[in-house]
Amino acid sequence: MCKTIRTLIAIPLALAGALTAGSAYAHFVPAPCDFITGGGWVTDDAGAQVNFGAHGGCKNGAFWGHVNVVHHGFNPPAHLKSTSITGYLMDPAFPNARDICGEGVVDGGAGSFTTRFRVRLEDNGEPGGDDRFGLRLSNGYVLSTRELGPPGRTGGGGNIQLHKPNPSTTGPSPAPTEAEMCGGVPPP
Amino acid sequence: MRTFDFWKVIGVAGTLAGLVSWPGTGQAQLGGVTDAVTNTTSTLSGQASGSTAVVMGIVTSLVDTGTLTSPSEPLGTSLPIGSIPGLLTAESLHATTMGWTDQVASEASLSNLAMTVAGTGISADFIQSRALAVSGAVPTGLTSIEGLSIGGVPVSFAGAPNQSISLPGLSVTLNEQIQSASGIIVNALRVRSLDGLTDVVVGSAKAGM
């Protein structure tokens, strides 16, 4: 039921967004814009735990949010902390998903450097095991988008929530392109 | 969901009815709030924090959003690694609160919690609390606790509100939900020492209309 409602909402959102952003880009700022929030953990392809906490969206003509990721595949663990949010996008092929793009700092066992990042958060209902998370950095690192759990499938946990628009959830006008928002970093 | 039966394992089951006040610095900020975008007046309130600890009267908070004052100003904060020295550490903390003209939603989450209170170690893979207040409806709360262990013993979290555990010198409440006329406070995990010196809330979300 929840998925059906979301799909019914997402289709006009996608069409509106496509009209707003033009057809040259597969991903665009949803129109009207909204929020997504969530936290949890997944395991990477080598079995290492990756924790995340994130929220993002549009706020009064700009993008807004925070993204934090801790990757235990490094010793000590690598941390990604967002320093600015430069984009918030949806993919009509995944109407329950939103991508948050931004700039951030990585430190820990992966070294210390600044990076562009793109995370995908996908809300596929409650309690959250079907929700999905992925991450890609501008240096080529990618954690492909995967389910949060339950443990035993991909391993992980957590919950992601896509929130409806409100009067403040306006993005930049005109909407920037996907390349401008994400610096060429493709979806994870 | 990890389904170990804490009750059977250590045979400790207790009831604590401690619905007490918000332990942190922020109380609900109720009253008329005029939204600059919609020019409407509402009585929304919202706040979220990764953790708030009161130790011998000293209050320390991690990733506290502060008080929501307008549906035009969602609030959020986060940390990759957070700690309250001598008490707890956690990863990927985030807290956010946002309002609409007809509802408020707040959320806090963190991973890899490691905490020691009154000599008892408490850990969890993931903790999240959510609070939702919709105009004209009873506010609701939701808590996720995964991989919880207390004193080295895995603990099952069934999801019901106000699941209490009594231990020597310690009380633990899972999914504490405090309903009031003005909204709801959801504390995913609350640990108090029985000597009254320590009160720790992990994953707190508040919403009211």
The tens digit of pLDDT for each residue in B148-168 reads 999 999 998 988 999 999 898
Q: Give, in degrees to the nearest 5, the angle at Cα A123 between A179 and B124.
A: 110
* Closest-CA residue to A100 (of A84, A81, A118): A118
For residue A134, pLDDT beyond 90:
yes
The tens digit of pLDDT for each residue in A162-174 reads 998 887 788 898 9
Selecting from B1, B37, B81 the residue whose C-beta is nearest the C-beta of A167 gives B37
Interatomic CA distance for residues B1 and B155, integer angstroms: 11
Predicted confidence band at B9 (pLDDT cuts at 50, 70, 90)? very low
Predicted confidence band at A77 (pLDDT cuts at 50, 70, 90)? very high
Predicted confidence band at A152 (pLDDT cuts at 50, 70, 90)? very low
Predicted confidence band at B32 (pLDDT cuts at 50, 70, 90)? very low
How large is the average pLDDT for residues A141-162?
83
Per-residue model confidence (pLDDT) at position A150: 65
Predicted confidence band at B35 (pLDDT cuts at 50, 70, 90)? very low
How large is the average pLDDT for residues B198-204?
97
Which residues on chain A are in Cβ contact (under 8 Å) with B62? none
Assembly ipTM = 0.81
Percent of chain A with pLDDT over 90: 68
Per-residue model confidence (pLDDT) at position A16: 44
Per-residue model confidence (pLDDT) at position B111: 95
* Closest-CA residue to B88 (of B191, B4, B204): B191
B125 and A54: CB-CB below 8 Å? no
Per-residue model confidence (pLDDT) at position A39: 95
3-state DSSP helix/strand/coil percent for chain A, to nearest 5?
A: 15, 45, 40
Q: E strand or H helix at A21, and its extent?
A: helix A2-21
For residue B188, pLDDT beyond 60:
yes
A54 and B78: CB-CB below 8 Å? yes
pLDDT, averaged across chain A? 86
How large is the average pLDDT for residues A15-36?
66
How large is the average pLDDT for residues B63-80?
92
Predicted confidence band at A128 (pLDDT cuts at 50, 70, 90)? confident
Per-residue model confidence (pLDDT) at position A168: 79
Interatomic CA distance for residues B24 and B55, integer angstroms: 11
Asked if A36 and B96 count as a contact pair (C-beta separation under 8 A), the reply is no
B107 and A161: CB-CB below 8 Å? yes
Look-up: residue for tokens 């957590």? A158
Residue of A nearest to B102 (CA): A166
B111 and A53: CB-CB below 8 Å? yes
Asked if B91 and A51 count as a contact pair (C-beta separation under 8 A), the reply is yes
Predicted confidence band at A155 (pLDDT cuts at 50, 70, 90)? confident
Does the CB of A63 have a partner CB in chain B at under 8 Å? no
Minimal CA separation from B28 to chain A, in Å: 22
How large is the average pLDDT for residues B39-51?
80
- How many Cβ atoms are within 10 Å of B205's Cβ, its own excluded? 31
Per-residue model confidence (pLDDT) at position A171: 87
The tens digit of pLDDT for each residue in B13-30 reads 333 333 333 333 222 233
Q: E strand or H helix at B8, and its extent?
A: helix B6-10
Per-residue model confidence (pLDDT) at position A126: 83
B105 and A65: CB-CB below 8 Å? no
Per-residue model confidence (pLDDT) at position A120: 98
